[in-house]
Chains A and B, each alone.
Chain A
Amino acid sequence: MSDVATDTHKLAKSFDATQFLTKYSTVLALLALVIFNLIFTKHFISVQTLNVNLTQVATIVIVGVGMTLVIATGGIDLSVGSMMAISGAIAPLIFLGTAVHISEIHLSVAVAMIVAVTTAGAFGWFNGWLITHFRIQPIIATLVLFIAGRGIAQVSTNGNLQPFKLGEFQWIGLGRWLGVPVQVVIMIALVAIAAWVLRRSLFGRQILAIGGNEQAARLSGIPVARVKRWVYCISGLCSGIAGLVVIAINSSSDANLVGLGMELDAIAAVAVGGTLLSGGRATVTGTLVGALIIQLVRYTLLSNGVPDDVAKLVKAALIVLAVWLQRQSRA
């Protein structure tokens, strides 16, 4: 796997059309979609269109950031949707006073958010522990929590919907900061931090080294187990935040539905974005672009009157195309 190791710049050394296409394929696809919409979709040029698409894509990107790091190590995390459900179930239990009663509302909301996100992070850490301690394949280890996690969320709420109306909490999904929706700010911040970590920090280089060649990484003294546990923990934390955003937008938490199918959306965004699914090469900004493409495809089909079912087919075709392009760049 050394040929696909850390440095992407090597590929661009000798310029030709195929390589240009593979390198910028995702950005080009996004541009093509935007141009298509400018021509065919009515009322596309407006701030509100941007708002709708960014707020809808935010949760996928937030989860996708964690997923990108996990996939960069050569792993995968199927449990993100379930961890969203757990976080989404726990927070209202606290700020509605069902489980513990805290009379000061701001304190109660703060405790709820911290406990919810930390719990999701802890579950993520548990994934990492299963993977590193027992050497279980990531797809199996996270499958455990994919199944059990939603069960935990359902049991803790008896499977009931928890409706609420609480401005002190819902700013995370409905509020705006300098005119930009809060979840979009969170999304951009997370993407920026993760991109910096992957590119510049020691931790980021360790992640990529493990994904490129785990054996070599271990032999060169990288604490493989610790790095992996942290990566899965981060994925859990991101899922926890996304869970809070989803329930805040909907003014209700439904353990059966929060984050349902999110793992696939996140993995699709990562794959379309150009991160190598076998690890060793990752781009967080690519994930952002990938998620935007998937979102824009859905929006385009919806606003032009094509049923949602067809959108799923197009989404699948995009993934196939992305993987094909990846193979081209390897050859």
Chain B
Amino acid sequence: MTLINRRAALLMTVGIVGAFAATALADGLPKLAVKKTYKVGFAQTESNNPWRLAQTASMKAEAEKLGWQLVYTDAAGSAAKQVADVNSMIAQGVDAIFLSPREEKPLIPAVMAAKKAGIPLFLIDRNVDANLAKGGTDYVTFIGSDFLKEGTTAGENLVKLTGGKAIILELEGSTGSSPANDRKKGFDAVIAKNPDMKIVASQTGDFNRDKGRQVAEALLQAHPEATVIYAHNDEMAIGAISALEAAGKVPGKDVTVVSIDGEKDALQAIIDGKMAFSVECNPKFGPAAYAAAMAYAKGDTLPPTMTNTDRFFDKSNAKDSMADSY
């Protein structure tokens, strides 16, 4: 095949894709009828930690309160299964879909399938790649925390806590997921501005306790000079605390542990002095998610992203926050 032929073929493909994009744009977002009750789908990504369980519980409880029918699926940590889950919701004819996409790129087909089927889709908690799908055109809106800001908040508070001097081990979340990407970006940017703070190792612990512990054990061994562990979620931080204890170090004294989420076990660790702070990432999405759907049905124009307000937990308020924690 000559180069010219190839180029022609490429141009044609681009033309066809462009034409499709134009028609899709013309169609715009699917509408949601005003009804008393809805049948909605919630595609959860996994249920392996208290945060996810709290999120699912909130979605279920609020649906029950409103008298809505909820189709619930759990992708058990597989992006491929989650795409299939959304497709089966489409086949079941739900009125709207709430999706917590596991990763930014692999879930694009699910978003597009819902749009094509004329079912409005709301992203909650995690986002998809903004270059491939846009809020307000491909999906209705993204409701969630600002992960970038969570990372920045964690970084800034760490600077305050350590006086700008630290050797840091970072435990990342699932590779390719939006919280892992943004919590790293926000945090690393703050650290880069402080010449006496250094991240000596950064590895994924997949947001889970066992993996977080194993990775922390290995990293602590390779970098015994570390003074801070920053974990992208509390589960990994708790794993890191076990790793520290196993290595004969005193968490909170020899090594400062900081993290994000604010689950019950983490608050307890803060009270016990093993963890310094945790930036909240509120999992109770039910009320906000369904309220957004009802507003959208009424014809309100929603902004492409709706950000939750998150709190900050440290020694001063951990005890008082235990009651409504998960």
Q: B194 at interface (Cβ–Cβ under 8 A)?
A: no
Q: What is the CA–CA distance of A42 and B200 in the complex, to the nearest angstrom? A: 13
Please tell me if the beta carbons of A246 and B210 are within 8 angstroms of each other in the complex: yes
Encode A143-173 as 1/0 by CB contact (under 8 A) with B.
0000000000000000111010000000000
Q: What is the CA–CA distance of A304 and B203 in the complex, to the nearest angstrom? A: 11
Please tell me if the beta carbons of B218 and A299 are within 8 angstroms of each other in the complex: yes
Q: What is the CA–CA distance of A302 and B219 in the complex, to the nearest angstrom? A: 7
Q: B295 at interface (Cβ–Cβ under 8 A)?
A: no
Q: A221 at interface (Cβ–Cβ under 8 A)?
A: no
Please tell me if the beta carbons of A302 and B246 are within 8 angstroms of each other in the complex: no
Q: A257 at interface (Cβ–Cβ under 8 A)?
A: yes
Please tell me if the beta carbons of A163 and B265 are within 8 angstroms of each other in the complex: yes
B247 touches which of A48, A249, A298 (Cβ 8 Å): A48
Please tell me if the beta carbons of B222 and A304 are within 8 angstroms of each other in the complex: yes
A304: chain B residues at CB < 8 Å are: 222
Nearest CB of B to A307, in Å: 7
Please tell me if the beta carbons of B204 and A303 are within 8 angstroms of each other in the complex: no
Q: B215 at interface (Cβ–Cβ under 8 A)?
A: yes
Please tell me if the beta carbons of B221 and A252 are within 8 angstroms of each other in the complex: no
Task: From A19-27, A49-57, A114-122, A226-234, give the one contacting chain B.
Answer: A49-57
Encode B194-226 as 1/0 by CB contact (under 8 A) with A.
000000010110001110011101110111100
Task: From B14-22, B27-35, B48-56, B110-118, give the one contacting chain A.
Answer: B48-56
Q: B227 at interface (Cβ–Cβ under 8 A)?
A: no
Nearest CB of B to A278, in Å: 32
A252: chain B residues at CB < 8 Å are: 209
Q: What is the CA–CA distance of A159 and B50 in the complex, to the nearest angstrom? A: 11
Please tell me if the beta carbons of A250 and B48 are within 8 angstroms of each other in the complex: no
Q: What is the CA–CA distance of A20 and B93 in the complex, to the nearest angstrom? A: 65
A49: chain B residues at CB < 8 Å are: 221
Q: A103 at interface (Cβ–Cβ under 8 A)?
A: no
A160: chain B residues at CB < 8 Å are: 53
A41 touches which of B215, B222, B239 (Cβ 8 Å): B222
Number of A-B contacts (CB under 8 A): 78
Q: Which of A16-53 contact B (CB under 8 A)?
A: 41-43, 46, 48-49, 51-52
Please tell me if the beta carbons of B47 and A159 are within 8 angstroms of each other in the complex: yes
Please tell me if the beta carbons of A305 and B201 are within 8 angstroms of each other in the complex: yes
Range, interface on chain A: 20 to 34
Q: What is the CA–CA distance of A41 and B201 in the complex, to the nearest angstrom? A: 13
Please tell me if the beta carbons of A249 and B242 are within 8 angstroms of each other in the complex: yes
Q: What is the CA–CA distance of A214 and B34 in the complex, to the nearest angstrom? A: 69
Residue of A nearest to B56 (CB): A159
Q: What is the CA–CA distance of A161 and B217 in the complex, to the nearest angstrom? A: 23
Encode B235-250 as 1/0 by CB contact (under 8 A) with A.
0001100100011100
A302 touches which of B203, B238, B247, B248 (Cβ 8 Å): B203
B208: chain A residues at CB < 8 Å are: 254, 257
B217 touches which of A42, A56, A257, A307 (Cβ 8 Å): A56
Please tell me if the beta carbons of A309 and B49 are within 8 angstroms of each other in the complex: no
B204 touches which of A46, A51, A174, A308 (Cβ 8 Å): A308
Contacts A159-B47, A161-B50, A256-B48 given: A48-B204 contact, CB under 8 Å? no
Q: What is the CA–CA distance of A298 and B218 in the complex, to the nearest angstrom? A: 9
Please tell me if the beta carbons of B175 and A307 are within 8 angstroms of each other in the complex: yes
Q: What is the CA–CA distance of A174 and B213 in the complex, to the nearest angstrom? A: 13
Nearest CB of A to B106, in Å: 15
Q: B188 at interface (Cβ–Cβ under 8 A)?
A: no
Please tell me if the beta carbons of B222 and A250 are within 8 angstroms of each other in the complex: no
Please tell me if the beta carbons of A256 and B46 are within 8 angstroms of each other in the complex: yes
Q: A251 at interface (Cβ–Cβ under 8 A)?
A: yes
A299: chain B residues at CB < 8 Å are: 218
Nearest CB of A to B151, in Å: 19
A303 touches which of B47, B48, B213, B219 (Cβ 8 Å): B219
A43 touches which of B210, B224, B265 (Cβ 8 Å): B224
**A-B interface, 6 closest residue pairs, ranked by CB to CB distance from nearest:** A303-B222, A302-B218, A52-B217, A256-B48, A257-B48, A250-B210
Given A42-B222, A250-B209, A307-B175, 8 more pairs with CB closer than 8 A: A46-B221, A56-B214, A56-B217, A249-B242, A256-B76, A303-B219, A305-B203, A307-B203
Question: A-contacting residues of B (Cβ < 8 Å)?
Answer: 46-50, 53, 74, 76-77, 175, 201, 203-204, 208-210, 213-215, 217-219, 221-224, 238-239, 242, 246-248, 265
Question: B-contacting residues of A (Cβ < 8 Å)?
Answer: 41-43, 46, 48-49, 51-52, 55-56, 159-161, 163, 174, 246, 249-252, 254, 256-257, 298-299, 302-305, 307-309
A-B contacts, 27 of them at CB < 8 A, read A41-B222, A43-B221, A43-B224, A51-B246, A52-B221, A52-B246, A56-B214, A246-B210, A249-B213, A254-B48, A254-B49, A256-B76, A256-B77, A257-B208, A298-B218, A299-B218, A302-B215, A302-B219, A302-B222, A303-B201, A303-B218, A303-B222, A305-B201, A305-B203, A307-B175, A307-B204, A308-B203
